[in-house]
């Protein structure tokens, strides 16, 4: 099975330090969450999408949140800064997690954001009482949906909610699409929308709301690719050619996948069955 660490998006996560330096923020400077937002969100529509989670879940300072697949910590820091809630930010890759810890400290948010390095499938938190589980573009890396969704359910309070942005299978994939999904996106399994809903019900969720994001994500990834290619010379000055080639290849492959028409995007909000 393809190793998520080999995905080109994750090849050089320290590139954020190049971006900060180009904005006049060197390694010792204290940071604001807003300084980081253009660079630390590894999903579509950046903090707008995180705002959607805050609003639709009605997150407040009273709440405890688990983010699954927190990358270099962008969404977790933003949620904590905006709402004052406590976030446990779980990330599989140590290199990304270390960067997340550093950036969170420099933002003065370590009291609110607890970075944990590990695999959600093995996550064993004493406090199995989160109000909300949030996750952006991470479930697509995890084929074992049964364990994943059961785990999400078991760590939520009764009546707690989940907010997920993820890929799904609109139609059967062609062989080339399957190859690109596996080799370039580390995605080895995707359910259809109906299968997703059935899996959620089986794992103990109800009040399931599914919003199709395919059209807006298709446009987002196309514009991201085109903007990146247009600015590639200045990107090479900020980073180096290897980093820019990796990102260009990754952004192009993702745009190709959405253009092909069989890959879809969705947002799910669902509630753990039972009352608080
Ligand atoms: C597309 S990134 C999104 C990062 C972050 N949510 C964001 O939007 O900026 C997906 C992240 O999920 C992590 N991941 C993948 N499988 C995981 C697992 N089984 N447990 C925890 N994290 C995982 C990856 O290492 C990667 O950092």
Residue 135 pLDDT > 90, yes or no?
A: yes
The residue to mutate among 141, 147, 189, having the most atoms of ligand 1 within 8 angstroms of its beta carbon, is: 141
Nearest CA to ligand 1 atom 16: 141
For the beta carbon of residue 201, count every other beta carbon within 10 angstroms. 14
Q: What is the pLDDT of residue 259?
A: 98
The answer, yes or no, to whether residue 244 has pLDDT greater than 90, is yes
Cα of 267 vs centre of ligand 1, distance in Å, is 16
Q: Residue 2: is its pLDDT beyond 70?
A: no
Task: Tell me the pLDDT tens digit for each residue of 61-91.
Answer: 999 999 999 999 999 999 999 999 999 999 9
116: Cβ contacts below 8 Å, ≥ 6 apart: 88, 89, 90, 91, 97, 123
Which residues are paired to 131 by β-bridges?
none
pLDDT score of 1 more than 50: no
In the prediction, which pLDDT does 231 show? 96
pLDDT score of 26: 87
Distance 78 CA to ligand 1 centre (A): 16
Q: 273 alpha carbon to ligand 1 midpoint, in Å? A: 26
What percent of the chain stands above pLDDT 70?
Answer: 98
Residue 148 has φ and ψ, to the nearest 5°, of -60, -50
Pick the atom of ligand 1 nearest to 74's CA: 9
* Predicted local distance difference test score (pLDDT) of residue 27: 82
At residue 208 the predicted structure's pLDDT band, cuts being 50, 70 and 90, is: very high
| Pair type for strands 130-136 and 263-272 | unpaired
User: What confidence tens digit (pLDDT) does each residue in 181-200 have?
Assistant: 999 999 999 999 999 999 99
Report the distance separating Cα 129 and Cα 216, nearest Å.
Answer: 34
pLDDT confidence bin for 202, thresholds 50/70/90: very high
How many residues are recorded in the chain? 276
Q: DSSP class of residue 171?
A: S
Arithmetic mean of pLDDT, 244-255: 97
User: Would you say residue 9 has pLDDT above 50?
Assistant: yes
At a CB cut-off of 8 Å and minimum separation 6, what does 130 contact?
64, 65, 66, 88, 155, 156, 157, 160
Closest residue by Cα to atom 27, ligand 1, is: 71
Q: Are strands 86-91 and 130-136 parallel, antiparallel or unpaired?
A: unpaired
The two tokens of residue 252 are 């192009």
To the nearest whole number, what is the mean pLDDT of the chain?
95
- Taking the centre of ligand 1 as the mean of its atom positions, its distance from the CA of residue 92, in whole angstroms, is 7
DSSP 52-83: HHHHHHT--TT-EEEEES-TTSHHHHHHHHHH
pLDDT at res. 69: 98
Q: Given this model, what pLDDT does residue 4 score? A: 87
Residue 127's pLDDT is 63
Integer CA distances (angstroms), 219 to 3, 73, 262, in order: 28, 25, 15
C-alpha 215/C-alpha 258 separation (Å) is 9
Ligand 1 — pocket residues by CB below 6 A?
Answer: 4, 41-43, 68-71, 74-75, 90-93, 96, 119-121, 136-138, 141-142
Buried b (16+ CB within 10 A) or exposed e, 86-104: bbbbbbbbeebbbbbbbbb
Please give the pLDDT value at position 6: 80
Among positive and negative, which fits the CA dihedral 130, 275, 62, 34?
positive
Q: Which atom of ligand 1 is nearest to the CA of 72?
A: 9
pTM here is: 0.97
pLDDT of 126 over the 90 cut = no
> Which domains, ranges and CATH numbers included, belong to the chain?
4-271 (3.40.50.150)
């Amino acid at each position: 099975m393809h190793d998520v660490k080999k995905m080109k998006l994750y090849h050089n996560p320290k590139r954020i330090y190049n971006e900060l330096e180009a904005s006049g923020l060197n390694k010792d400077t204290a940071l604001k969450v807003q300084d980081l937002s253009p660079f630390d969100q590894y999903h579509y529509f950046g903090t707008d999408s995180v705002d959607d989670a805050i609003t639709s879940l009605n997150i407040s300072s009273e709440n405890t949140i688990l983010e699954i697949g927190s990358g270099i910590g962008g969404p977790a820091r933003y949620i904590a800064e905006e709402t004052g809630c406590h976030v446990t930010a779980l990330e599989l890759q140590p290199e990304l997690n270390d960067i997340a810890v550093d950036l969170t400290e420099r933002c003065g948010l370590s009291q609110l954001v607890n970075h944990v390095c590990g695999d959600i499938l093995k996550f064993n938190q004493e406090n199995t009482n989160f109000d909300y589980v949030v996750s952006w573009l991470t479930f697509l890396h995890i084929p074992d949906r049964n364990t994943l969704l059961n785990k999400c359910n078991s760590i939520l309070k009764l009546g707690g909610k989940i907010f997920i942005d993820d890929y799904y299978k609109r139609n059967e994939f062609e062989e080339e699409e399957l190859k690109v999904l596996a080799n370039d996106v580390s995605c080895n399994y995707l359910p259809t929308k109906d299968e997703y809903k059935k899996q959620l019900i089986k794992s103990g969720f109800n009040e399931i709301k599914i919003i199709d994001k395919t059209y807006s994500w298709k446009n987002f990834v196309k514009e991201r690719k085109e903007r990146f290619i247009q600015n590639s010379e200045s990107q090479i000055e900020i980073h180096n050619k290897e980093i820019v080639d990796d990102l260009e290849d990754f952004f192009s492959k993702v745009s190709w996948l959405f253009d092909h028409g069989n890959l879809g995007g969705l947002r799910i909000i669902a509630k753990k069955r039972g009352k608080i």
